[in-house]
Structure 1
Amino acid sequence: MAKVTSEQLGKEPIGPLLIRQAVPASIGILVMSLNILVDTVFVGNWIGSIAIAAINVVLPVSFFIAALGMAIGIGGSSIISRALGADHPEKALKTFGNQITLTILITCSMVALGLYFVDALIPAFGGKGDIFDPAKIYYKIVLYGVPFLALCMMGNTVIRAEGKPKFAMIAMIIPSVGNLVLDYVFIYIFDWGMHGAAWATTGSYLLCFGYILYFFLSRNSELKPGWHHLGLDRPILSEIGSLGFVTLARQAVTSITYLLLNNILFNLGGEASVAVYAIIGRMLMFALFPVFGVTQGFLPIAGFNYGARKYPRVKESIYTAVKYAALVATGVFVLLMVFPAEIADLFLSNREDMSAAEIAANNFVLEHAPAAMRWVFAATPIIALQLIGAAYFQAIGKATPALLLTLTRQGFFFIPLILILPNYLGELGVWISFPIADFLSTVVTGYFLKREVDRELV
């Protein structure tokens, strides 16, 4: 039964197949993003805007460690998709076993280092002044759950590589809903403050891990690795590493970007400026969920058909994915251009007992967030090409172009822009760096993707 499901990646018409793969992925990302969004609203309303900034400071560290799991997952899942397409089930099993071992070893080591250097890492990522103490509380508790999150992110990509998008969707929904329920209980009812927000997040990771474990132990999965599959295999590790490094590099650059932005904005406008970026950062995760969903749905289709040497289907999947993603990105763009002030207001507390500092911070956010949001999302309609193009090279196992195109936006363009433009334009220099980097990276990706298609998919 499961084998038939994976074979459908090479048989169904591309349009309906992409929708079948992308819709569950989009729903899962939507729920996960809504969780992050509503979690931020809860924290902002029940704890305060400084708490939002504190969580934003912690995210780069915890996300980077969790991204190790995603990197191992996506790198290995590219191998699994192509192995299933080429009818090599033993290679798929050995790859999955190596993914499990590698994720546990690396993430546990990183958590130990993260806890040891806690007092140095938090200020380095912008956790200064009033932000430091709540950030440290959140950081230490959440970090204990990050290995489980990494295993979940790794497992989720493997589920999708098997052609089981609905199960992958459920795996994303469970922790999201769980986190919101636990937020209500721990923050609102128990009044645990930042401790409650942190334990709610960690608890949600454990819920997700429980479901992922159930999936692979049940009959729903065709991948049943034995103990002998868990032994590390150098050629497989090398391939996982080269492809997974693309995802890891992307997250590493994202973490560096958070570090730079939090510090630049803190120097320009203090805690309130960091809070503005925290809100926009949540919207970047939330608003683009359908575009990311199409990208996630595209990956196993491209990988499976490339492994099966069905190049016309690979070519069709690229064009269809770019078209669908561009349409939904344009819809997102229109909404954010029309309602930025209303969106920013959702994150802010209106409690009667707010201090003068909290009121001042809220006023600053309301004054600056709408214009900043419009600038940040100004190039949204064209980003589909950049995302799908970079994902394509990763799906077919070409690590070097995938890495370079993944780093193009943030590494080659965005980071230099935010280091230069704020010196002349202040905060405006930060915000206009986003659309400039989006435009330049899309042009570069479009050129290399077209060249690859014309040369290889004939």
Structure 2
Amino acid sequence: MEQSKTNQFNVLAEKPVGSLLMQYAIPAIVAMAASSVYNIIDGIFIGQGVGAEAIMGLALTGPLMSLTAAFGAMVGVGAATLMSVKLGQKDYGTAQKILGNVVIMNLTLGIVLGLLLLVFINPILRFFGASDVTLPYARNFMSIILVGNVVTHMYLGLNALLRSTNRPQKAMCATIGTVVLNCILAPIFIFVLGWGIRGAATATIMAQMIMLTWQLRLFSNKDELIHLNRSIIKLDVKIVKESLLVGLPQFLINLCACLVAAMMTRSLTTYGGDMAVGAFGICNRFILFIVMVVIGLNQGMQPIAGYNFGARRYDRVLGVLNKALIFGSVITLTGFVIGVFFPTPFVSVFAKDSPQLIKMSAHALSCMVMMFPIVGIQIVSTAFFQSIGYAPKSIFLSLTRQLIFLVPAIFILPHLYADPLEGLWHAAPVADGLASVLAITLLVLQVKKFKKQMQAPVENMHTPL
């Protein structure tokens, strides 16, 4: 019986990496795309049902959403990566304990962080650039989201583990289920019950809560090798430390995104007012959609790369990396074409009664996607180093894009353009271009090291976890 349970993971070391990547990536991509589509639809509901000012207020919640996501990702992504490596090493006992520790960590972080941020919600939003006009909308939305923060953390953490335990289709169903429920509940709460922007937030939390119940049921199945039971619901200091260390790059990515978004919204408020903040929020919905599709690809790559790295199958690690780089570049190139040549049709659905907002958003989008043809390489590279447990390199790539390149660009470029707002629209592509060149350089060096390891005696090979 135990042997039959462990056989489900052997496919990660035996099936051709191309078809295996598609098997894992397509459900994740569909799930992430569906989630991003809902993010777009949610914005349309709010824009059409509440108004352009609500869209501007919603844009201000981006930094705070990134902050809460940072902690959830540190646990979920870190534990999922560690899970894949341990399964590759056939350390099933530790893999089982990882599940229990994820539950405890998400419960603790979700509750504490949600309550803490809720207490200081007004000054936080003011720091992010909220005006007297946009503050009520941003506060009403985030208050609901923060109350349900523990649900969001648990839902995202268990979904990451579903992918790592060879159930990518279940993870996809959980995400799509959340999207479908959101699309049903949001218009009811916004239009029928008249709850406004609070209705959109309530629909999000309720949808996640329903799907979380289903996830817990899946992980309670004793026929699965990795399942919940009382014996694993206790903290293991070593697992906690390793999970958080591996998840640290994702934490820093989201934390930096929070800080950068805060700087961006404050600068936009200074140089363009609430209108510029709203345009930035609309553009971010499109950019997030493209990036999330690549992240879905990375989620498909992660268990394959992690398992085979743990099993010392470096040829398969490089094989899945090469294919992920190709697919990731195709995805971001598609985003470039749409953003540069067809921006107006996309942005128009958010603000049909505001021609000025539409014009500003369309121009901003065409600027912000200029480096998308090579951005896919940067996103895949950062995720790849994290997937094989090379946290320092993943952290370095994350920090350089956000802090070393983007932050200076936000402060410097407005002073180099006749229109400071134009400089802000070009800050992201400048940072993306520099970060992509750096990522390509590090990746080439790492590939050379792997090829040397493939030629070395087996006893000289090692893994960091």
| Corresponding residue of 2:241 | 238
Decide whether the 8 Å contact of 2:70 with 2:252 is kept in 1.
no
What is the RMSD of the two structures over their aligned residues, measured on CA atoms?
A: 1.5
* Worse overlay, 229-238 or 46-55: 229-238
Moved over 4 A (4+): none
1:419 aligns with 2:419: no
| Residue matched to 2:193 | 190
SS at the partner of 2:426?
helix
Q: Deviations over 1:419-457 (max 9, x none)?
A: 111233211111111111111111111111111121134
- Pairing 1:403–2:395 present: yes
Give the drift of 1:385.
1.3
In 2, Cα distance between the equivalents of 1:184 and 1:25? 26
Over 3 Å counting, the alpha-carbon distance change for 1:63 and 1:179 in structure 2 is: farther
The reply on whether 1:317 has 2:309 as its aligned counterpart is no
Distance 1:197 1:77 in 2: 30
Q: Which moved more, 1:392-401 or 1:302-311?
A: 392-401
Once the two structures are superposed, residues 106-158 of structure 1 have per-residue CA deviations (whole angstroms, 9 ceiling, x without a partner) of 22111111111122111111222200112111121111111111111111111
1:78 CA drift (Å) = 1.3
Counterpart mapping for 1:166-181 below 5 A: 166-181=169-184
Out of 228, 233, 236, the residue aligned to residue 231 of structure 2 is: 228
- The reply to whether residue 447 of structure 1 matches residue 450 of structure 2 is no
* Aligned residues of 1:97 and 1:229 also touching (Cα < 8 A): yes
Shift of 1:264: 0.7
Identity of matched residues, %:
27
Per the TM alignment, residue 2 of structure 1 is displaced from its structure 2 partner at its CA by 5.2
| Distance of aligned partners of 1:233 and 1:306 in 2 relative to their CA distance in 1, 3 Å threshold | same
Deviation string, structure 1 residues 253-295 (Cα, Å, up to 9, x no partner) = 1111111111111111111111000101111111334322211
Answer with 286-295 or 139-148: which moved more.
Answer: 286-295
- Equivalents in 2 of 1:327, 1:62: separation in Å? 28
Deviates more, 1:67-76 or 1:219-228: 219-228
Partner of 2:13: 10
Question: Residues 253 and 398 of structure 2 are in contact (CA less than 8 Å); yes or no, is this contact kept in structure 1?
Answer: yes
> In structure 1, how many angstroms separate the alpha carbons of the residues matched to 2:227 and 2:167?
15
* C-alpha deviation, 1:318, in angstroms: 0.9
- 1:36 Cα deviation after fit: 0.3
Residue 107 (structure 1) aligned with residue 107 (structure 2)? no
Residues 26-58 of structure 1 show CA distances to partners (whole Å, capped at 9, x for unaligned) of: 100111001000000110011011111212222
**SS of residue matched to 1:322:** helix
Structure 2: give runs of 5+ residues left out of the alignment: 455-465
Residues 96 and 429 of structure 1, relative CA distance in 2, 3 Å threshold: same
Task: Report 1:3-402 matches (<5 A).
Answer: 3-218=6-221, 221-350=224-353, 362-402=354-394
Label 1:165 to 1:186 Cα distance change in 2 as closer, same or farther (>3 A).
same
1:219 deviation in Å?
5.6
Q: Compared with structure 1, are the counterparts of its residues 174 and 67 closer, same or farther at alpha carbon in structure 2 (3 Å cutoff)?
A: farther
Counterparts of 2:359 and 2:65, CA distance in 1: 30
Give the alignment's TM-score, normalised by structure 1.
0.94
Deviation at 1:201, TM superposition (A): 2.0
Q: Name the SS for the 1:421 alignment partner.
A: helix
For residue 432 of structure 2, what is the aligned residue in structure 1?
A: 438
1-structure distance, mates of 2:23, 2:256: 31
Tell me if the contact between 1:18 and 1:297 (Cα under 8 Å) persists in the aligned partners: yes
> CA–CA distance in 2 between the matches of 1:15 and 1:306?
16
Letter in 1 for 2:435: S
Structure-1 separation of matches of 2:109 and 2:292: 28
Name which of structure 1's ranges 325-334 and 221-230 shifts more when overlaid on structure 2: 221-230
**2: CA distance between counterparts of 1:56 and 1:223?**
39
| Unaligned 5+ runs, structure 1 | 351-361
- 8 Å CA contact 1:66, 1:146 repeated in 2: no
Measure the CA separation in 2 of the matches of 1:178 and 1:54.
24
After superposition, the Cα gap between the structure-2 partners of 1:437 and 1:7, relative to the gap in structure 1 and judged at 3 Å, is same
- Distance in structure 2 (CA, Å) of the matches to 1:311 and 1:449: 14
Q: Which moved more, 1:338-347 or 1:233-242?
A: 233-242
One-letter amino acid of the counterpart of residue 164, structure 1: R
Q: Are the aligned partners of 2:155 and 2:211 in contact in 1 as well (CA < 8 Å)?
A: yes
Aligned pairs, number: 447
The residue aligned with 1:358 is none
Taking structure 2 as the reference length, the TM-score comes to: 0.93
Change (3 A) 1:86 1:323: same
Amino acid of the structure 1 residue aligned with 2:270? N
Distance 2:432 2:379 in 1: 10
